Amino acid sequence: MTKRKPRVLATRHFPPAVEARLAANFDAVLNPEDRLYDGPALIKATEGCAGIMCAAGDPLNAETMAGLPASVRIIATFSVGYEHVDVGAAAKRNIAVSNTPDVLTDATADIALLCMLGAARRAHEGTTMLRTHNWVGWEPTQLMGTHVTGKRLGILGMGRIGQAVADRARAFRMTIHYSNRTRLPPGLEKGATFHANADDMLRHCDFLSINAPMTPATRKWVNAERIAKLPKGAIVVNTARGGVVDDEALIAALNSGHLAAAGIDVFDGEPKIHQGYYGLQNAFLLPHMGSATTETRNAMGFKALDNLEAFLLKGELPPDLVKAS
């Protein structure tokens, strides 16, 4: 008698290669229309499921977690960040939670440099000028931006992605400052200057790159008070989580000219972003593209599947188990 495969709900439409492996190894409940589940719909969709393969933004909060059927034993998120999953509530239900570290470091660091360069060199204004047929030709003072090479870069959060951003910035001969929960060993620090107090780093930042996770301590960390500590003409880049930035404060500083520009790939409350961003010519905006390469998204999916297969098919702990704090 053939053993029944565990049922797994895919909350989103994932890359074809990922869904093919999911369907081969599990009784997969797919979402080809990529419809967004709210909490009650998610609870209903998980009836009979042993696992959930979710993504950033899915409402796996305490309320949803409390309503999940007893059959659910693991939630594997297609992301490094897991603030959308209430890990403590999952632990109370004996539901394992896993994430996908390591595989999107380079892709996200690449986007951080794209945001930095796009903001510094006024890329949004340039492309808009061309696409609206308003470019009249080269002019000596046209679209003069900020030089990147040789400037000071401050990095908030020097984990894998922060370190990869620093490595890329060194190619531009940038001086690296960073703040992290713990100081890196010299071999990883690579000459960067550590600031135990992140506020002390701000005056050294011609560019500030946000690479910290979203936690209660980092919620709206980039606020008006801290922005005021940045040198006039500084540029802020955020490729981590939108909630680390106070949108009102950032928009005000971009409008006032205290900040020269910002490069942003993530937004608080996305996709419903603060309306104030749309009118800013000095904001280089991207729609959460940090991990958006075929190679990276496949790797994220395969890592999520590694966790599901280890737990549901082999009876092992997920290799990327997230522990409740």
Task: Give the tens place of pLDDT for each residue, 68-100.
Answer: 999 999 999 999 989 999 999 999 999 999 999
Q: What is the pLDDT of residue 72?
A: 98
The verdict on whether 270 is a catalytic residue reads yes
Is residue 83 within 8 Å of 55, Cβ to Cβ?
no
Is residue 101 reached through a cis peptide bond, with omega within 30 degrees of 0 on the bond before it? no
Catalytic residue among 73, 183, 270, 274: 270
The boundaries of every CATH 3.40.50.720 domain in the chain are 7-103+294-312, 105-285
In a 13 Å sphere around the CA of 17, the CA atoms on its Cβ side amount to: 11
Per-residue pLDDT tens digits for 170-194? 999 999 999 999 999 999 999 999 9
Domain 105-285: give its CATH architecture. 3-Layer(aba) Sandwich (3.40)
Catalytic residue among 241, 248, 274, 309: 241
Per-residue pLDDT tens digits for 220-272? 999 999 999 999 999 999 999 999 999 999 999 999 999 999 999 999 999 99
Residue type, 77: T
Stated pTM of the model: 0.91
Q: What is the pLDDT of residue 2?
A: 63
Does the pLDDT at position 165 exceed 70?
yes
Q: What is the pLDDT of residue 3?
A: 79
Per-residue pLDDT tens digits for 36-62? 999 999 999 999 999 999 999 899 999
The CATH topology of domain 7-103+294-312 is: Rossmann fold (3.40.50)
Residues facing residue 54 across a β-bridge: 77
At residue 322 the predicted structure's pLDDT band, cuts being 50, 70 and 90, is very high
Residue type, 149: T
Closest CA to 181 of 195, 164, 163, 161: 195
Neighbours of 325 (CB within 10 A): 7
Q: How far apart are CA 302 and CA 311, in angstroms?
A: 14
